[in-house]
A and B are shown apart, each in its own frame.
Chain A
Amino acid sequence: MLKILKYSFYDLIRSRWSYVYFLFYLALGFVLLFLNNDVSKAVITLMNVIIILIPLIGTIFGVMYFYNSREFTELLLAQPIKRSSIFLGQYFGVAGSLTLSLVLGLGIPFLLYGLLRSNAIFNFSLLLVTGAFLTFIFVGLSFVIAISNENKIKGFGYAVLLWLFLAVVYDGLFLMSLIIFEEYPLDTFSLVATMLNPIDLSRILILLKLDISALLGYTGAIFRKFFGTDLGFLVSMAILLLWTLLPILSLGYKAKRKDF
């Protein structure tokens, strides 16, 4: 698997798109920091970018890579390599190179800005960690979608729909159900609903640092316990990890049964 990972990774970090992605983050980082001169604001803007854009890029990139490397995958399948190694290798190659672009692209300007001296370092590293998680999750989901759909256009469509659903529609439905059932206790419901969407989950994870003051304004005991202690952070992290494992496992499962 490591060999496949290595080659996928090399292949990707040499592709134009990785550079575009990297340069995008680099530019974003520089603009946010050196035009605004304000780390806290930069962190807030970055959060929006991270929870929306990273899933989108991860999804599209994952699907594209999977379909584009189909023949190459077939070549590999005829080699004495375990099937799951091929797909997992490719998966980690894609997710790894995207994460690298993200971390370097944002990290360099922040380092230059003197982040290490700023107290925003924790918030910032949390952003990067969350971004990495989201990359792995969404590349994974897109791989699962791609491996389940022979038809490129269909697969692409599903992947974009998935992103749209998780990034926007889900929250709309969430909000509606909260308002419709507002007379009932909704603590547990809203926490569970948040956990079920990796984008919401990442958002909450960042909110725990950025907006803890507002989150603690709510009366519910479960909320208070969740947001007021380290419990929220630990639980969110653990579930995010689960979210990362889920597509990997189902990718492994699908890969074993797939015909080429």
Chain B
Amino acid sequence: MKLDIQHIKRILGFAFLMGFQMGLANTWTVCSNCENSSIKETILRAAPHDTLLIEKGTYKEFEILVDKPLVIKGIGYPIVDGEKKGEIFRITSDDVTLDGLFVINVGVSYTKDNAAIRVVQSKNFLIQNMVLEQLFFGIYLEKSSHGKVYHNRIIGDAVDEYNSGNGIQLWYSSDIEVTKNHVQGTRDGIYLEFSDKITITDNVSRDNLRYGLHFMFSDNDIYTNNLFENNGAGVAVMFSKFITMKNNTFRKNWGTAAYGMLLKEINDAEIIGNTFEENTIGINIEGSNRIEYANNDFIGNGWAIRVIGACYTNSFKGNNFLYNSFDISYNSKLNDNVFEGNFWSSYTGYDLDKDGIGDVPYRPVKLFSYVVNRTPETIILLRSLFMDIIDFSERVSPVFTPDNLKDAQPLMKIRS
């Protein structure tokens, strides 16, 4: 018995010690005049699953390697200043949390894509409440998965494309949530390359040099409720499959090659409930098939939808086309897409049987849009009486526009 009790005691003691070691992980406080004044060194001392509390102050450090599961949390937004010397945080371990730091001055390099925070081949990371400024790349996720990028502010000051980086970049990553971030002044606000099953929700991406959001070779992604505003070229979705785009707003992307959204080689996507407002081109569609466009609002765009090249089996249903200079522009005489039950603000037909559907089909392609495609300067004749007369005659008897390109059931009232 004695032995047994001793044995139990010993076991309990060991268990207690172990429990202390594992469950009650250490918390390290870092401040400029504490014992631990360097984040980098404190990480070296810390054990896995420890927490580092960074107190208010300025920490001039770069190439901070986080190679064990840690929680690094700022108190009152301490500044981590990379002094433009290189990358600032590099995470190479699973289960890392970065929270509440103000990271500035990432080193710009022409050979390395330095980021404020880089996550490499890790899982279950959480990057939240960070503020990143004076950056090159912001948050760079490389071959990582199952993480979360939440509620960060990334403010770049990019001027030229060649020496600026992207706000949030995902490369060969999957199963990541990007939520409630605010990205501006970078090259591409959010950039996905070979990244699948990504959810992008409630972000704001504005005033970026190139794209607010940019997809390349990324499949099965969902983005909803985001706002993309005044980006150099809007949002580009290219060479991807099964993308769901819902309830996003694309605004004020103005310029020669500026789009609310650019679709290139996209198949089997859903574009539902989005708002395209005051863009030079609402959606520019190139070689994209089997896409459902439903319940979107196109308001005051130069071109609501411009179709270039072969696009098959797309359907446009229940959209509102309001006061666009051109509703639809086509560059071919063929049409394999369906337009049905949309509301067109320039529709002038009537509804004698009062079923809410116009009795005369609407032809959304104006002859003038062909003329403008051919000779862009003619845009200056937009809304002139002469062009209106020509458009009218084309509408009565189509010669240049595809004969079957029409909405046979135009709505009489705006879809609310």
* Residue A108 CB within 8 A of the other chain: no
* Residue B86 CB within 8 A of the other chain: no
Choice from B281, B300, B302, B375 contacting A215 with Cβ under 8 Å = B302
Give Cα A218–Cα B255 distance, bound, in whole angstroms: 8
* Residue B268 CB within 8 A of the other chain: no
> How many chain B residues touch the partner (CB < 8 A)?
34
Specify which chain B residues have a CB less than 8 angstroms from the CB of A204 in the assembled complex. 380
* Binary B-proximity of A180-208 (CB < 8 A = 1, otherwise 0): 00100011011100100000100110110
Q: Report yes or no: A41 in contact with B378, Cβ–Cβ below 8 A.
A: no
**Which of A189, A207, A214 has its CB near the most chain B CB atoms (within 10 A)?**
A214
Give Cα A214–Cα B324 distance, bound, in whole angstroms: 9
Give Cα A16–Cα B385 distance, bound, in whole angstroms: 29
Specify which chain A residues have a CB less than 8 angstroms from the CB of B376 in the assembled complex. 217-220
* Residue A178 CB within 8 A of the other chain: yes
Residue in chain B with minimal CB distance to A183: B375
Binding stretch for chain A, among B107-115, B209-217, B386-394:
B386-394
Choice from A38, A52, A186, A217 contacting B281 with Cβ under 8 Å = A217
Q: Report yes or no: B375 in contact with A213, Cβ–Cβ below 8 A.
A: no
* Residue A216 CB within 8 A of the other chain: yes
Specify which chain B residues have a CB less than 8 angstroms from the CB of A220 in the assembled complex. 376-377
Q: Report yes or no: A211 in contact with B377, Cβ–Cβ below 8 A.
A: no
How far, in Å, is B349 (CB) from chain A's closest CB? 14
**Which of B323, B374, B381 has its CB near the most chain A CB atoms (within 10 A)?**
B381
Give Cα A172–Cα B325 distance, bound, in whole angstroms: 20
Choice from A51, A178, A228 contacting B377 with Cβ under 8 Å = A178
Choice from B303, B384, B388 contacting A214 with Cβ under 8 Å = B303
Choice from A52, A179, A186, A216 contacting B385 with Cβ under 8 Å = A52
Q: Report yes or no: A178 in contact with B375, Cβ–Cβ below 8 A.
A: yes
The bracket for how many chain A residues form the interface is: 35 or more
How far, in Å, is A253 (CB) from chain B's closest CB? 31
* Residue A125 CB within 8 A of the other chain: no
Which A225-244 residues sit within 8 Å CB-CB of chain B? 228
How far, in Å, is A25 (CB) from chain B's closest CB? 19
Give Cα A231–Cα B302 distance, bound, in whole angstroms: 20
Give Cα A38–Cα B300 distance, bound, in whole angstroms: 14
Q: Report yes or no: A40 in contact with B377, Cβ–Cβ below 8 A.
A: no
28 contacts between A and B (CB under 8 A): A40-B300, A40-B322, A40-B323, A40-B345, A41-B345, A48-B383, A167-B385, A169-B386, A172-B386, A175-B387, A186-B375, A187-B377, A200-B384, A203-B382, A210-B325, A210-B383, A211-B382, A212-B278, A213-B278, A213-B300, A213-B325, A214-B302, A215-B380, A217-B255, A217-B302, A217-B303, A218-B379, A224-B256
Enumerate chain A interface residues (CB-CB to B < 8 A): 38, 40-41, 44, 47-48, 51-52, 167-169, 171-172, 174-175, 178-179, 182, 186-187, 189-191, 194, 200, 203-204, 206-207, 210-220, 223-224, 228
